[in-house]
Amino acid sequence: EQSQPGLTDQTSPRPDHGEDSYTGSGRLAGRRALITGGDSGIGRAVAIAFAREGADVAIAHLPEEQVDADDTVALIEQAGHRGLSLPGDVRDEDFATGIVESTVEEFGGLDILVLNAGYQKDRDGIETLPTEEFDRVFRTNLYGMLWSARAAVPRLGPGSSIIVTASIQAYSPSHSIIDYAMTKAAQVAFVQAAADELGEKGIRVNAVAPGPIWTPLIPGTGWDAERLATFGQDTPLGRAGQPAELAGAYVYLASEDASYTSGAVLPVTGGKHL
Ligand code: NAD
């Protein structure tokens, strides 16, 4: 049997879905975006796609990822738009709030907020789950998201868009990442409740629910080689997705094409049901 590139060897991205695969056609011209976790994996692919669609893009990221952030900003600028790197930790309320103000100061406003920063780690079981570990997951995925959203709402006008990176884990939680799955379910509740509240201001709030996507988060979970090699093979499409394969979903939700879409959860899962 012939193996396809990227299908079994997860470390080599499928050539047709690499970082250059998203071109763009000005669908976000003149828009100003802030993406948390925008230097790596899904957030980086979204940052590049937004810039190629005409947006200025600020990315918030952990300080130790400055090299990746500089590289992402360079790609945003290559697309002819303004980029901004905001290093810090979204578990810190001042930082999660301040990134909104820094983006508004630099770009003169904010139209698109992508709440994407996230953390997960495999667990041995409920009984041994350390408080400091689930605290990190809750603070990154929930508190950070809520603080940034709270700061952004007064800055967002009609036609603006908030997009949360949730997960298929919100609907089909794995016990090995119980605390992470809890935060993803709570993110969906946030999206639906916030869409209800903010609709009257013309602000749309939606989620993307990715399935298995090959990003730096995955090798960081500490899985063994076999589990890494088979990651995503249980999907109908039989493989993990590449970050660039999600970018179009975010562009759609951020753009006028989605002007009547709010409170939605868009699955990008390789065919797995939510
Ligand atoms: P990644 O590790 O490549 O990116 C995570 C990003 O979050 C990085 O940019 C990092 O700087 C940022 N981040 C993490 N903790 C932070 C903190 N405390 N403060 C500031 N920034 C922080 O992983 P990814 O897979 O691209 O993850 C992005 C989002 O996608 C996460 O919310 C994750 O839960 C979600 N997701 C991923 C998958 C997958 O299979 N990879 C599936 C479903 C959902």
For residues 48 and 55, give the distance between their C-alpha atoms in angstroms, rounded to a whole number: 9
On whether the CB atoms of residues 125 and 215 are closer than 8 A, the answer is: no
Q: 44 CA distance to ligand 1 centroid (A)?
A: 10
pLDDT, one tens digit per residue, over 20-62 is 888 888 999 999 999 999 999 999 999 999 999 999 999 999 9
Please give the residue that has the higher pLDDT: either 89 or 4.
89
Burial class of 136 by CB neighbour count within 10 A (0 to 12, 13 to 18, 19+): middle
CB within 8 Å of 229: residues ≥ 6 apart:
8, 9, 10
| Closest atom of ligand 1 relative to the 43 alpha carbon | 26
For residues 82 and 56, is the Cβ–Cβ distance under 8 A?
yes
Cβ partners under 8 Å of residue 122, min gap 6: 176, 177, 221, 222, 223
Structure ipTM:
0.99
Q: Which atom of ligand 1 is nearest to the CA of 240?
A: 40
Pocket of ligand 1 from Cβ distances under 6 Å = 36-37, 39-43, 60-62, 65, 89-91, 116-120, 140, 165, 167, 210, 212-213, 215-218
* CA neighbor of 121 nearest in space, from 49, 244, 220, 25: 220
pLDDT of residue 1: 33
Neighbours of 108 (CB within 10 A): 9
Residue 120 CA to ligand 1 centre (angstroms):
8
Active site residue 171: no
CA of 148 to the centre of ligand 1 (A): 16
Indicate the pLDDT class of residue 220, thresholds 50, 70 and 90: confident
Query: Alpha carbon 84 to chain centroid distance?
Result: 17
Query: Taking the CB of residue 239, how many other CB atoms lie within 10 A of it?
Result: 18
* Catalytic residue selected from 22, 180, 250, 252: 180
pLDDT digits (tens, 9 = 90+) for 146-159: 999 999 999 999 99
